[in-house]
Amino acid sequence: MAMQNNSSYYFLVIVCMVLMLVNALKNDKQLIHYLFAIFCGSLCMVGVQKLSAPTIGVYHYLIGLFTCATCNVSWLVSRTLFRKSKPISGVHIAVAVSIAGLIMFNQTWHYLVSIDALPFPDSQQMWRLKQGMNEITVLLSSSILVLSFWEALRGYKQKNESQKLQAIIFASSYAFAVFNASILPKFLFSEADIQAYEPFIITSSALLIVLAMQVVMVLQSRDKTHCSNQIESETSDEVNRAKVDEPFEQMDISPKLIKGINQLINEQQLYLQSNLKISDLAQALSVPEYKISRAIRHYYKVANFNLFINQYRVKHAQALLLKDEVRHWSILSIALESGFSSLATFNRVFKSIVGVIPNEFRKQNDKVQNSSLPELAE
């Protein structure tokens, strides 16, 4: 029987550690960066657990407690990458936490068995519980893997070319990683050889998914930057045309277009989508983008699309900051709920429109409310 070569695990730890730090230390962090950093950190612990097992013995199961954010967090990452509006809710977090709990239970069980410290005297009862937990964990993990794959391909026909490329990269990498980890080795190796090549199999499959996530994140960031530059360019061109070619009263701003914009923004609250683009409005209303830009500048009297949307987002955030029932919410939660993709962007935009940062706005409102309270009679 061939001996395992664990050098692949060192490579897994190094790559995941680097990517975790790169995303965790970004200045303008978004939800996806937090989730991806957690995912990379958990994979790091997978490698550390495998490497430490020969030297620290049963205590490597305690390290295994920190490997509880792999498939469950990869599902949250896939939802955040490919869902436009509110990708993660309390239900999704509850499912991810439940899977994490099952993984931690499994690792704790192995540790207690190894040190002969079962908490119940009836070991048969514990073994039945363990087997049941194993079945539930396998079922949930398998379902989560399928859902992660499906998130990328959901609504494929409605995606633009860049989004289709991102979906193909993510889905194909995910599919091949699962194939590489579970099916391909059975065709290539004997049972003994599979054990010997296990470090390479696990590392290659994990890194394939990690790198696919990182590539999609880079492509989405590039698309967002390109879209912002395009909007600014179109707005500048529109202003120049308005100044030189057309007086305002001759511009083609139909009441139907204004009604459609109002419906999308005021009724459907499309501004709560964190990655909303002018092309989304144009597609929904079946009009060219320049007409949306023209209406925003000349009818709504707002300089550009970004400012137009951000004004609605800030107004929504102000309403949340004034509500007593969400007083326990963090500023980051308010930002995400209002359509902003990161805390840094929220603070900057909020201050530019309101004059103070959100936390200061909340404190000022608290002072006003406290000062207006009637004094109790002695």
pLDDT digits (tens, 9 = 90+) for 41-58: 999 999 999 999 888 988
Higher per-residue pLDDT: 122 or 302: 302
| All structural domains of the chain with their residue ranges | 7-223, 246-370
Q: 79 falls in which pLDDT band (50, 70, 90)? A: very high
Q: Give residue-wise pLDDT tens across range 184-216.
A: 888 888 877 888 888 899 999 999 999 999 999
pLDDT for 371 beyond 70: no
Q: 244 falls in which pLDDT band (50, 70, 90)? A: very low
Contacts of 260 (CB under 8 A, 6+ apart): 284, 285
- What pLDDT does 248 receive? 44
Length of the chain in terms of residues written: 378
- What pLDDT does 233 receive? 57
Residue with tokens 């009836």: 122
Q: 320 falls in which pLDDT band (50, 70, 90)? A: very high
- The predicted model gives 324-349 an average pLDDT of 89
User: Which is nearest to 334 in space by CA: 346, 349, 324?
Assistant: 346
Measured between alpha carbons, how far is 8 from 219 in angstroms, rounded to an integer?
28
What are 170's two structure tokens? 């993510």
∠ CA 165-42-135, nearest 5°, is 90
Contacts of 203 (CB under 8 A, 6+ apart): 8, 9, 11, 12, 47
What mean pLDDT is reported for the chain? 84
Which fold is adopted by the domain 7-223? Rhopdopsin 7-helix transmembrane proteins (1.20.1070)
Contact call for residues 204 and 180 (beta carbons, < 8 A): yes
pLDDT for 249 beyond 50: no
Q: How far apart are the first and last CA of the chain?
A: 87
Measured between alpha carbons, how far is 325 from 323 in angstroms, rounded to an integer?
6
Q: Which helix (H) or strand (E) holds 34?
A: helix 31-56
Backbone angles phi, psi at 119, to 5 degrees: -70, -20
- What pLDDT does 58 receive? 85
pLDDT for 240 beyond 80: no
The single-letter DSSP state of residue 43 is H
**In the chain, what's the furthest Cα-to-Cα distance?**
88
- What pLDDT does 18 receive? 96
Domains 7-223 and 246-370 share a fold: no
- What pLDDT does 374 receive? 45
Q: 247 falls in which pLDDT band (50, 70, 90)? A: very low
- What pLDDT does 27 receive? 81
- What pLDDT does 4 receive? 62
CA distances from 96 to 89, 91, 103, 141, 217 (A): 11, 9, 11, 10, 21
- What pLDDT does 31 receive? 87
Three-state SS at 212: helix
Least confident stretch, 15-24, 126-135, 305-314: 126-135
Q: 251 falls in which pLDDT band (50, 70, 90)? A: low
- What pLDDT does 363 receive? 87
Measured between alpha carbons, how far is 240 from 243 in angstroms, rounded to an integer?
5
User: Which is nearest to 337 in space by CA: 87, 15, 66?
Assistant: 87
CA distances from 11 to 6, 68, 87 (A): 9, 20, 32
By CB atoms closer than 10 A (0-12, 13-18, 19+), residue 203 is buried
Q: Give residue-wise pLDDT tens across range 136-172.
A: 888 888 888 889 999 999 888 888 888 899 999 999 9
User: Which is nearest to 22 in space by CA: 275, 229, 211, 224?
Assistant: 211
- The predicted model gives 340-363 an average pLDDT of 90
- What pLDDT does 230 receive? 57
Amino acid at the residue 356: V
pTM over 0.95: no
- What pLDDT does 296 receive? 92
339: left (phi over 0), alpha (psi -120 to 50) or beta: left
Q: Give residue-wise pLDDT tens across range 253-280.
A: 888 999 999 999 988 899 998 888 898 8
Measured between alpha carbons, how far is 74 from 171 in angstroms, rounded to an integer?
12
Task: Say if domain 246-370 classifies as CATH 1.10.10.60.
Answer: yes
- Angle, in degrees to the nearest 10, between helices 71-82 and 123-153: 20
- What pLDDT does 375 receive? 46
Measured between alpha carbons, how far is 321 from 103 in angstroms, rounded to an integer?
37
Measured between alpha carbons, how far is 127 from 123 in angstroms, rounded to an integer?
6
